[in-house]
Amino acid sequence: MIKARVTVTLKNGVLDPQGKAIEGALGALGFDGVGHVRQGKVFDVELEGSDKAKAEGDLKAMCDKLLANTVIENYTISLD
């Protein structure tokens, strides 16, 4: 079994209203010095088998088709 983590974040230049709201809330809670917050998503995926190259290819396809909107989001894949 292969365990993977996919991290999806907005591309630079894409407006992040949730990140801005979190940034404002942190300041209101007294956390000074918070300059810029971007919000993203994390997916932990378990894949059957032991072929890491196949797993990475499958994960890229999953990201391109469902997990990420590649027009406005980037993704990274890490395998354990």
**Total domains in the fold of the chain:** 1
Q: Which domain holds residue 18?
A: 2-79
Q: Which pLDDT band, with edges at 50, 70 and 90, does 14 fall under?
A: very high
Other C-beta atoms lying within 10 Å of the C-beta of residue 75: 20
pLDDT value, residue 19: 96
Say if pTM beats, i.e. exceeds, 0.75: yes
Which tens digit of pLDDT belongs to each residue from 23-57? 999 999 999 999 899 999 999 999 999 999 999 99
Q: Domain of 35: which CATH number?
A: 3.30.1280.10
